[in-house]
Amino acid sequence: MNYVRTFMLMAGLTALFGVVGYLLGGAGGMLIALAIAAATNLFSYWNSDRLALAAHNAQEVDATTAPELYGMVRDLAARANMPMPRVYLIQEDQPNAFATGRNPENAAVAATTGILRTLSYEELAGVMAHELAHIKNHDTLTMTITATMAGAISSLTTFGMFFGSRDNRPNMIVQILISVLAPMAAMVIQMAISRSREYEADRLGGEIAGNPVWLADALAKIAGAVEHIPNETAEAKPATAHMFIINPLSGRGMDSLFSTHPDTGNRIAALMEQARAMGVGRTPQGGFVGQASQSPWNSPHQRGPWG
């Protein structure tokens, strides 16, 4: 159902793009709008991962520089039967993480140093499984396209007001309404797509990790920390907020029109229901479900060597 909803929302976003172009410039304006959409999406398709990682000064790590994190992602990717993504660290106190990339073969996961200090091994595994779920579901590409189109619609309305043909422009009142309502509608659609993909990534992430409770506990910790630890980079570049597992700008996201993320309480409740259906709960320390102990910690509350 989430996939159908996502498809319908993306179709609506594309239609909105064409309508705005038509209202501002007639048939020619619609063609120009669609050409702009194609060009911006092509650029973001090839460059979105590099731009997102560079925006947050992420540094790539490997089995030598971050063996515990790298090994965790490697094992989870194997469990999910997907290619190993590149792994990045962000020097940032706020606990958070995101995934990016145009497809599973060209993807990356990034975690802040804050999340490594805050979560237990199992909780971090739940978060990384969630990010791998985004990659496996191709959400990273979907959200890149929707964010690009939403931004392009905003730019298109501004461009059309000042540079469109006088013969094709609507009257000034209509132009003002378009310039205000079109970007707002695009943002609503973008946020709705983002929220639907988060629920699906939570569900699949719980399956990949083997225990949805780990992700539920992680979300509770991250949401609590985000309220008190600002992320200055995210504040300066809010367009990237939808990428993170918890909104880095506030941590008080609700299932409202303008929220990039579902309400954390609703996400936790869904994960706990999934855990009950799977017949699992809070398990003792020791790697993924069905595997021998792999944790580098002696206690779930201890910090790894990065802390």
Please list the pLDDT of the chain residue by residue as tens digits (307 residues): 445 655 666 666 667 767 777 676 667 766 776 777 677 767 777 777 888 899 899 999 999 999 999 999 999 999 999 999 999 999 999 999 999 998 899 999 999 999 999 999 999 999 999 999 999 998 887 777 776 666 666 666 665 554 454 555 555 666 666 666 666 666 666 666 667 789 999 999 999 999 999 999 999 999 999 989 999 998 887 777 888 999 898 544 444 444 668 889 999 999 999 999 999 987 654 444 434 334 333 333 333 433 3
pLDDT for 294: 40
pLDDT for 154: 65
Asked whether residue 198 is domain-assigned, the answer is yes
pLDDT for 251: 41
Asked whether residue 192 is domain-assigned, the answer is yes
**Is 134 marked within a binding site?**
yes
pLDDT for 287: 46
Asked whether residue 91 is domain-assigned, the answer is yes
**Is 198 marked within a binding site?**
yes
Q: Which residues, in sequence order, are CB contacts of 204 under 8 Å at separation 6+?
A: 129, 133, 136, 137
**Is 261 marked within a binding site?**
no
pLDDT for 59: 97
Asked whether residue 184 is domain-assigned, the answer is yes
Asked if residue 82 lies in contact with residue 75, where contact means CB atoms within 8 angstroms, the answer is no
pLDDT for 289: 43
- Catalytic positions, written as ranges: 131
Asked whether residue 165 is domain-assigned, the answer is yes
How many folded domains does the chain comprise?
A: 1
| β pairing state of 97-101 and 86-90 | unpaired
Asked whether residue 54 is domain-assigned, the answer is yes
pLDDT for 214: 97
Two tokens, residue 8:
């319908």
Structural domain harbouring 158: 2-278
pLDDT for 148: 67
SS3 assignment, position 94: coil
Two tokens, residue 173:
């009142």
Asked whether residue 71 is domain-assigned, the answer is yes
pLDDT for 172: 64
Q: Which residues, in sequence order, are CB contacts of 157 under 8 Å at separation 6+?
A: 20, 24, 178, 179, 182, 183
pLDDT for 298: 33
User: What's the rounded Cα separation, in Å, for the pair 174 and 163?
Assistant: 16
Asked whether residue 297 is domain-assigned, the answer is no
